[in-house]
Amino acid sequence: MAGIFPNAEWLDSFKDYLNSSEKYAQIARKWEGDLLFDIAPSGALTERTLIYLDLWHGKCRDAYMVEEEEKEAAFILQAPFDNFVRVLLGEIDPMQAMMTRKLKVQGSMTYMMRNVPTVLEFVRSAQAVTDHYLGEE
């Protein structure tokens, strides 16, 4: 069973899924850029949570929870926990969330827009490994 988003067990499941998915490997074969989720407290999440993913040519080379020190990444997605959950539940389209700043993007939005299929498959993969969210019974 996958872990509860956002925790280390969930992240391990997500990394394994990305690295075993032929569909993700094909769609993201040209993607170059690491990613940091900066999840602000809201709802059941009471403290800031940082998740780092090193994504390169359809593989996740590394993924781990980050301590409070700043971590550099090509892309930083910042949002309250509740907005991340709404994206994972499919209540908000990920690209629309970025365009309306429900998910704030630091990094090249142009690159994101040129790689919409990769972004959507990344989110679909995250949805596939997410069984529960922090605060759910």
Strand-pair partners of 33:
55
CATH architecture type of domain 4-131? 2-Layer Sandwich (3.30)
Contact criterion met (CB below 8 Å) for 8 and 65? yes
pLDDT at residue 52 in the model: 96
What is the CB neighbour count within 10 angstroms for residue 98?
Answer: 20
DSSP for 74-110, written as a single string:
SEEEEEEHHHHHHHHTTSS-HHHHHHTTSSEEES-HH
Domain boundaries, the chain: 4-131
Look at the pTM and tell me if it is higher than 0.85.
Answer: yes
Helices 81-88 + 116-129 axis angle, to 10? 90
Rg from Cα positions in the chain: 14
3-state secondary structure of 21: coil
pLDDT at residue 2 in the model: 64
Helix, strand, coil share (%) of the chain residues, nearest 5: 40, 30, 30
DSSP H or E stretch at residue 11: helix 8-20
pLDDT at residue 133 in the model: 82
CA 31, 15, 107: angle at the middle one, nearest 5?
40
- The series of mean pLDDT values per 10 residues for the chain, 137 residues long, is 82 96 97 95 93 97 87 92 93 91 93 94 93 74
